[in-house]
Chain A
């Protein structure tokens, strides 16, 4: 069936997009419209490549249906969820623990049949009314004791839910006491759901907690010449496994991943790595910054989403180590992997080319996945983050100009100083400068907007209403968001790919992941089902017109 002509079949112009923006804003009450106006932008670049300022990491207006979740989800769900050998106890009524139980598709591979793996378990204090009234510390203490007696884990952590902060349970005092009593690592996160404006606050709280309580506990320097940490990769659908495979083939040693397929032991030892490579900038940049300040480990931004991006990221890592053998090995691996990617692309690309995508997820994927769509010859019409900050959109160069509002100020900023003994700059200033001159950017993330074309739409914290409008006005060929958005979009006849959980797919990272993604998108945009929506009887309007005339 021939597609209807839509606006995007013609060239989108800034004026047209501004008109769409105005149309969307017209629906909102004035105050809401004023706020949303800052968060909906037509992407432009001035002569210096500078993009407009976007409103991000701002409160969602009550009643405006949002994709966002809470601080607890960012802390327990996202960052700590993928670690297999910590008993994570959610302190609160049952719901929060329940909803974050196995729902994010984080995979893990314990080293043996008997190695610890608590990810299939859900632990909660299941607070009842009496605990809200009289306090829940006693119950929490008992829960930690019972977890210890049953499992003898090496670590137990505690996550606060909303009422815990309100009733004033001192979870940190409880965990300190139990740590001393049990002789294992016990620590807590004050990640009450109301903190901050989205999951993002929870990421920060998680970073602080792991850094304070775990990082640096094990100084053993492991084997390997090129030792790195991968930050902000959560092994959804097996992404970490594929990246591990590739790094291994290159002879790069992964000390720790934060936190896909991870063990607390990896975190404890991660300060011995020589480079931090960041995937999801939003959720984990704090960790990289703190590790650099305290231990002297530089960080670079990488992206293993997309075959070309994977190759580029590997080259960056090799470039950092300034080792010719490694550089050669990396080229060999890329050369060995690329033919299969090309074969798949040749098959799939003709059936995807020219189609148009929209991506509204997370704090990095709405950016990273544009690379995969580009490899397929698909155009990104609009994109935005659910919980990104301005630096994720405009690049870290805007960091000094970001105003810290009351919500962000409530999230603790740790003051880190160089470790008296263990601060070892991995490279001196001179070699860092040299590498920088050769194009390797440290402590830098360019952001989503400079990477997107001009005259595309950038929307932060997109609302349901805006989603519906975009679909109506652009009729994209595929829309990427999360589970809550999935069926509203598919009911509109547009295929929807989940880019949080990958639906049931993955891995999509690395070379094999790229092939998986190409095939998945090819299946989705060409699926027969979309052609059956109109029943045969509705396709013959003459007959009904005839009846209407008779009547």
Chain B
């Protein structure tokens, strides 16, 4: 057994986290910054932070993930990192020529209290920031929240740095897509365009972290929201923020700064959440839902109808990030599945409350934990077994030990491809999710069926 020391009996732990279901803020900030065109993310801390974040993002996307670091040494840790950051800004603009440097902090620079805003102003004053270029920043202490919090903080940083109101509102909608894959961001744009809406989606990692092989490396790939677009977000008619934890902060900031009204809702994963997204697009955008979108919805519904038997009352354990889990649980419930064990590593009791509401009517008890870990989830699974496990690649160790069908969902996925190219948001994304769940369940059925009941037609 790979996790041979995991017993079935959960005991309360207050000191030790075992097999986390979250990671730290800066990686989320780095990911968000990559969704800004021409931007080089910068990690203000020890070299290791930047190396670890780049490695993890690279393994997940199989794409270049460029970022720089302040390379703290013991001296910088004692005397403050200002000199390092100023030097870094100078070097980065000279050598790597980005349009924007997006600096995020680490637990190190937060603990010593470096003031990024003051350092950014000083860099500008000292002429280290060329004309027309920018240094933006976000505070992302690793000991608060999770990678999702870091994403939210950097998106807010983008708004604070760029969004401006010229006083002339236009018909454009801002969409903050949440901590989702580049494929999902692409899909959100596609759906909005089918609705006939002009949008600014930010951040936008499509064509950055799923860029084509062209034989030529581009330090700053073609994708990403541009600085001009970011500035224009202040004149948009409204902001739709998808995924409260990842996107609400920036949407509210935009409301505060530029009086752009915001509508925050769940990530459009699954039927109902996508319905609400489309309906919000319709109402806020002042358009009607086109036939093409209705057709996609109908297709999703059709697969749900056709394959209902295979979902019915299947017990599922799942782990991931709060925003995506809430929508996913709602979808699984709509499929008549039973999501019985739900864990996120990200702290926040609102998550537990939300999952409880979504599963309140199920005929089975549901375990849910925020700021939990995979050790606890595994113990729950041992005690009350499930038919399916969904989560990131770390789930494969539990799936193998418990001999369970496993669907990869979330971040990080280190051992499969697809997530960068095929969305799980929207109606078509819902079909893909069902396909993945069915593949896992039916492959297992085919593997385990006695020969006489091994079926050609399912």
Contacts and interface: CB of A to CB of B under 8 A. Distances in A.
Interface of A: 27-29, 32, 59-73, 89, 92-103, 113-114, 116-118, 120-129, 131-132, 139-147, 149-151, 161-163, 165-167, 192-198, 406-407, 410, 463-465, 468, 471, 482-484, 486-493, 533-534
B107 A121 contact: no
Given A127-B143, A491-B214, A66 B54 contact: no
A94 B71 contact: no
B363 interface: no
B85 A98 contact: no
Contacts of B312: none
Q: Which of B17, B55, B76, B397 has the most CB of A within 10 A?
A: B17
Nearest to B2: A120
A182 B380 CA distance: 28
Q: Which of A65, A69, A101, A139 has the most CB of B within 10 A?
A: A65
A475 to B, nearest CB: 11
B73 A140 contact: no
Interface string B201-233: 000000000010111111100000000000000
A125 B24 contact: no
Given A163-B107, A493-B215, A483 B58 contact: yes
24 contacts: A29-B91, A63-B91, A64-B95, A65-B96, A68-B47, A70-B47, A93-B141, A94-B345, A95-B23, A120-B397, A131-B143, A140-B15, A145-B15, A150-B11, A162-B46, A163-B143, A193-B45, A194-B74, A406-B74, A407-B74, A487-B65, A488-B66, A492-B217, A533-B214
A194 B72 contact: yes
A96 B48 contact: yes
Contacts of A140: 15
Given A72-B48, A73-B51, A491 B17 contact: no
Given A93-B141, A117-B4, A121-B3, 15 more contacts: A63-B68, A63-B92, A94-B20, A94-B22, A95-B24, A123-B18, A129-B144, A150-B11, A162-B72, A194-B108, A410-B74, A491-B213, A491-B214, A492-B216, A493-B216
B221 to A, nearest CB: 9
Contacts of A32: 91, 95
Contact of A99 (B13, B52, B96, B107): B52
Contacts of B88: 62-63
B33 to A, nearest CB: 14
The 9 closest A-B pairs by CB, nearest first: A70-B48, A142-B15, A95-B24, A63-B88, A63-B91, A193-B46, A143-B15, A99-B52, A93-B142
Nearest to A468: B217
A281 B64 CA distance: 30
A491 B217 contact: yes
Contact of A491 (B16, B73, B94, B218): B218
A93 B24 contact: yes
A467 to B, nearest CB: 10
A127 B89 CA distance: 30
B284 to A, nearest CB: 36
Interface residues of B, number: 85
Contacts of B51: 66-70, 73, 484
A117 B1 CA distance: 9
A465 B58 contact: no
A92 B23 CA distance: 12
A484 B54 contact: yes
Contacts of A198: 47
Contacts of A99: 23, 52-53, 55-56
Contacts of B90: 29, 63
Contacts of B47: 60, 66, 68-70, 193, 198
A407 B46 CA distance: 14
A113 B55 CA distance: 32
A487 B48 contact: no
Contacts of A27: 94-95
Given A120-B2, A162-B45, A194-B76, A73 B52 contact: yes
B192 interface: no
Give chain B's interface secondary structure class. Answer: loop
A259 to B, nearest CB: 20
Nearest to A139: B15
A195 B78 CA distance: 11
Contacts of B69: 62-63, 65-66
Contact of A69 (B19, B52, B94): B52
Contacts of A103: 55-56, 59, 414
A95 B15 contact: no
B89 A63 contact: yes
A146 B46 contact: no
Interface of B: 1-5, 7, 11, 13-20, 22-24, 26-27, 42, 45-49, 51-56, 58-59, 62-77, 84-85, 87-92, 94-96, 106-108, 111-112, 141-144, 146, 211, 213-219, 345, 347, 375, 394, 397, 414
A121 B436 CA distance: 27
B217 A488 contact: yes
A131 B143 CA distance: 9
B73 A162 contact: no
Contact of A166 (B54, B92, B112, B375): B112
A189 to B, nearest CB: 14
A193 B108 contact: yes
Contacts of B52: 69, 73, 95-96, 99-100
B16 A143 contact: yes
Q: Which of B54, B143, B144 has the most CB of A within 10 A?
A: B143
Contacts of A493: 215-216
Contact of B49 (A95, A482, A486): A95
Contacts of A118: 5
Q: Which of B47, B69, B375 has the most CB of A within 10 A?
A: B47
A96 B52 CA distance: 8
Q: Which of B46, B56, B216 has the most CB of A within 10 A?
A: B46
A76 to B, nearest CB: 10
A376 B414 CA distance: 31
Contacts of B211: 491
B173 to A, nearest CB: 33
A519 to B, nearest CB: 22
Contact of A197 (B55, B73, B108, B111): B73
B107 A92 contact: yes
A72 B106 CA distance: 15
B71 A62 contact: yes
A194 B77 contact: yes
B16 A147 contact: yes
A167 B111 CA distance: 8
Contact of B24 (A98, A147, A165, A464): A98
A472 to B, nearest CB: 9
Nearest to B59: A483
Q: Which of B45, B56, B213 has the most CB of A within 10 A?
A: B213
Q: Which of A68, A94, A407, A491 has the most CB of B within 10 A?
A: A94
Nearest to B75: A406
Given A94-B142, A465-B95, A125 B4 contact: no
A540 to B, nearest CB: 17
Nearest to A493: B215
Contacts of A64: 68, 91, 95
A160 to B, nearest CB: 12
Nearest to A64: B91
Nearest to A27: B95
B74 A95 contact: no
B71 A60 contact: yes
A538 to B, nearest CB: 10
Nearest to B1: A113
Contact of B20 (A126, A127, A144): A126
A90 to B, nearest CB: 10
B428 to A, nearest CB: 27
Nearest to B81: A62
B66 A123 contact: no
A335 B107 CA distance: 56
Contacts of B95: 27-28, 32, 63-64, 463, 465
Nearest to B393: A102
